[in-house]
C-alpha cells in the first residue's frame, strides 16, 4: 500500500491499515514516517492518559475496566500497553493483549503492545508516534500503560497529558514505598483493590501526604491531585476515576496547561529522535574509523572521563 493510500485508509477508519501503520512506526520504517507526516495535521485532539505503578498493582485490570466504562460512554479507546521485553527477542510479551481479549471484536477498541526496552529514547519516540496514529484515526482517549518498574514510573509523565499513579494496599507501608518524585507526577492518585481493608488507610495517607507536599511548596501547578479508590472486582470507583480524569483535562484546557503539556510531549519525542540519530551516527563512525572505540578504550583505562569522552564523540559527529 502506498503512503497516500495508507494514511487515507487510516483516516477512513480502516483498522487493518492502522495496524500496518503501527508496525511500520514501531520499526521506524520510512513509509510509516511518511504516512504519519500526512496524518500529523489531524492530531492533537486525543487525551493521552499515562498509567503507572508497581508491578502486580492491577494496572491492566484497571485499564480493562476503564475501557468498559469509556465504551459505555461512547468513546473509542486505544491502549498502548508497554510490556516487559522478552530476554530472547527483545519483543513484547503481549501479556496485556492476552488479558484484554474480550475487546478483540470491538471496533471501538484498539490495543497494541510494545516492548519496554528499559524505557529508552526509542520507546519514547515510538510510543508517541503510535499515540499520534491513534489520535489521527479518531481514538480518544489513548491510554499508555507502563511496566511500572525503573525510570518509566516517572518518565511516563513526559508522554501523557494526564498521569494516573497507582498505589496498592496491603503491600507494607505504601507511603514509604513511594519513590522520590513519583507522587509529584501523579495527576490522579489511584488506590486499586479498594475492597481490601487497608485501602481506606492508604487513601487517607495519600491525601495527607499530598497536603503536606502542597504546604511544603512541592506542587506549584495549582492542580490538587485527587485520590480515588477503585475495585475492579466490585466494579467500583471507575466512573469516579473517569470523572477525575475529565476534570483534569478541563483544568489543563482552562489554565492553558494543555498547551504546555503538549509541548512537553513534543519535546520528549524530538529529543528522543535526536538521541537515536546521534547513536546511529556514533555506531557508523565506530565502524568506519574506529575513533569511538579508541575513545571508549581510553575511558576504560581511566585516562579520560565519560563526560570528556562524550564531548569528543559529539565533536566528531557535528
| pLDDT digit string, tens, across residues 114-141 | 876 655 666 778 999 999 999 999 999 9
Domain membership of residue 312 as a residue range: 270-317
Contacts of 315 (CB under 8 A, 6+ apart): none
Instruction: Determine contact, residues 152/165, Cβ cutoff 8 Å.
Output: no
User: Do 22 and 96 fall into the same domain?
Assistant: no
SS3 string, the chain, reads CCHHHHHHHHHCCCHHHHHHHHHHHHCCCHHHHHHHHHHHHHCCCCCEEEEECCCCCCHHHHHHHHHHHHHHCCCCEEEEEEECECCCCCCECCHHHHHCHHHCCCCCEEEEEEECHHHCHHHHHHHHHHHHHHHHCCCCCEEEECCCCCCHHHHHHHCCCEEEEEECCCCCCHHHHCCCCHHHHCCEEEECCCCCCHHHHHHHHHHHHHHHHHHCCCCCCCCCCCEEECECCCCECHHHHHHHHHHHHHHHHHHCHHHHHHHHHHHHHHHHHHHHHHHHHHHHHHHHHCHHHHHHHHHHCCCCCHHHHHHHHHHHHC
User: Do 53 and 133 fall into the same domain?
Assistant: yes
Domain count, the chain: 3
Neighbours of 217 (CB within 10 A): 7
Q: Is residue 161 part of a domain?
A: yes
The domain boundary residue, chosen from 206, 224, 255: 255
Instruction: Determine contact, residues 73/66, Cβ cutoff 8 Å.
Output: no
User: Do 34 and 91 fall into the same domain?
Assistant: no
**200: closest CA among 224, 231, 223?**
231
pLDDT at 232: 83
Cell 575513533 appears where? 291
- CATH code for the domain of 136: 3.40.50.300
How does strand 48-52 pair with strand 142-145? parallel
Cell 504546604 appears where? 215
User: Do 55 and 27 fall into the same domain?
Assistant: no
pLDDT at 180: 47
User: Do 194 and 291 fall into the same domain?
Assistant: no
User: Do 89 and 160 fall into the same domain?
Assistant: yes
User: Do 176 and 31 fall into the same domain?
Assistant: no
Q: Is residue 261 part of a domain?
A: no
Q: Is residue 157 part of a domain?
A: yes
User: Do 34 and 119 fall into the same domain?
Assistant: no
User: Do 208 and 233 fall into the same domain?
Assistant: yes
pLDDT block averages, 10 residues each, the chain of length 318: 86 96 92 94 96 84 94 96 58 52 88 73 82 97 80 75 90 54 81 88 84 62 89 90 97 95 92 83 69 85 90 78
Half-sphere exposure of residue 133, counting CA atoms within 13 Å on the CB side? 34
User: Do 36 and 54 fall into the same domain?
Assistant: no
User: Do 208 and 89 fall into the same domain?
Assistant: yes
User: Do 294 and 281 fall into the same domain?
Assistant: yes
* Cα angle, residue 183 at apex, residues 178 and 184 outer, rounded to 5°: 150
pLDDT at 30: 92
Q: Is residue 304 part of a domain?
A: yes
C-alpha cell of residue 238? 471507575
pLDDT tens column, 162-192: 999 998 887 655 555 455 456 778 899 999 9
**231: closest CA among 186, 200, 185?**
200
Instruction: Determine contact, residues 282/292, Cβ cutoff 8 Å.
Output: yes
pLDDT at 71: 97
Instruction: Determine contact, residues 279/272, Cβ cutoff 8 Å.
Output: no
pTM for the whole structure: 0.86
Neighbours of 276 (CB within 10 A): 17
Amino acid at each position: 500500500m502506498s503512503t497516500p493510500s495508507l494514511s487515507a485508509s487510516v483516516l477512513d477508519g480502516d483498522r487493518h491499515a492502522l495496524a500496518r501503520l503501527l508496525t511500520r512506526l514501531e520499526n521506524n520504517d520510512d513509509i510509516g514516517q511518511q504516512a504519519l507526516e500526512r496524518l500529523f495535521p489531524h492530531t492533537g485532539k486525543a487525551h493521552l492518559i499515562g498509567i503507572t505503578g508497581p508491578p502486580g498493582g492491577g494496572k491492566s485490570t484497571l485499564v480493562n475496566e476503564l475501557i468498559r466504562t469509556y465504551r459505555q460512554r461512547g468513546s473509542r479507546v486505544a491502549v498502548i500497553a508497554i510490556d516487559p521485553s522478552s530476554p530472547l527477542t527483545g519483543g513484547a510479551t503481549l501479556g496485556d493483549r492476552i488479558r484484554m481479549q474480550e475487546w478483540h471484536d470491538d471496533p471501538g477498541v484498539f490495543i497494541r503492545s510494545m516492548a519496554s526496552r528499559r524505557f529508552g529514547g526509542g520507546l519514547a519516540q515510538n510510543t508517541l508516534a503510535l499515540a499520534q496514529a491513534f489520535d489521527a484515526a479518531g481514538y480518544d482517549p489513548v491510554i499508555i500503560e507502563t511496566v511500572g518498574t525503573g525510570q518509566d514510573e516517572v518518565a511516563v509523565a513526559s508522554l501523557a497529558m494526564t498521569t494516573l499513579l497507582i498505589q496498592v494496599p496491603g503491600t507494607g507501608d505504601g507511603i514509604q514505598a513511594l519513590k522520590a518524585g513519583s507522587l509529584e507526577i501523579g495527576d490522579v492518585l489511584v488506590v486499586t483493590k479498594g475492597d481490601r481493608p487497608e485501602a481506606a488507610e492508604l487513601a487517607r495517607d495519600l491525601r495527607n501526604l499530598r497536603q503536606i507536599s502542597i504546604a511544603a511548596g512541592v506542587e506549584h501547578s495549582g492542580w490538587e491531585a485527587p485520590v480515588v479508590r477503585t475495585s475492579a472486582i466490585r466494579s467500583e470507583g471507575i466512573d469516579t476515576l473517569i470523572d477525575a480524569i475529565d476534570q483534569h483535562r478541563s483544568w489543563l484546557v482552562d489554565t492553558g496547561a494543555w498547551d504546555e503539556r503538549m509541548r512537553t510531549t513534543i519535546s520528549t519525542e524530538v529529543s528522543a529522535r535526536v538521541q537515536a540519530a546521534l547513536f546511529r551516527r556514533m555506531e557508523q563512525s565506530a565502524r568506519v574509523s574506529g575513533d569511538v572505540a579508541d575513545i571508549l578504550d581510553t575511558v576504560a583505562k581511566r585516562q579520560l572521563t565519560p563526560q570528556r569522552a562524550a564531548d569528543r564523540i559529539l565533536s566528531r559527529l557535528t
